[in-house]
Amino acid sequence: MRILLLISMLFIQLFCFGQSKLEGSYLNKFGERLVFENDSIFSHTWQFDLASSWTKGTYRISNDTIYLRTTLIYDTLEIVNSENEFIKDSLVVSIDETSNSIRNEEFVMSLVAGGGQNRLPPPDKLVLVRGKLFRLNKLGIIDKSKKKQTLTDKSFKTYFFKRN
Confidence of residue 3 (pLDDT cuts 50, 70, 90): very low
The tens digit of pLDDT for each residue in 107-164 reads 888 888 888 999 999 999 999 999 999 999 889 899 999 999 877 889 999 999 998 7
Can you tell me the distance from the alpha carbon of 28 to that of 25, in angstroms, rounded to the nearest whole number? 11
Instruction: Name which residue leads in pLDDT, 121 or 105.
Output: 121
Which pTM was predicted?
Answer: 0.81
Mean pLDDT of 21-33: 94
Please list, in sequence order, all residues whose beta carbon lies within 8 angstroms of the beta carbon of residue 163, skipping any fewer than 6 positions away. Answer: 24, 25, 26, 27
- The model's confidence at residue 19, banded by pLDDT at 50, 70 and 90, is low
pLDDT given at position 36: 97
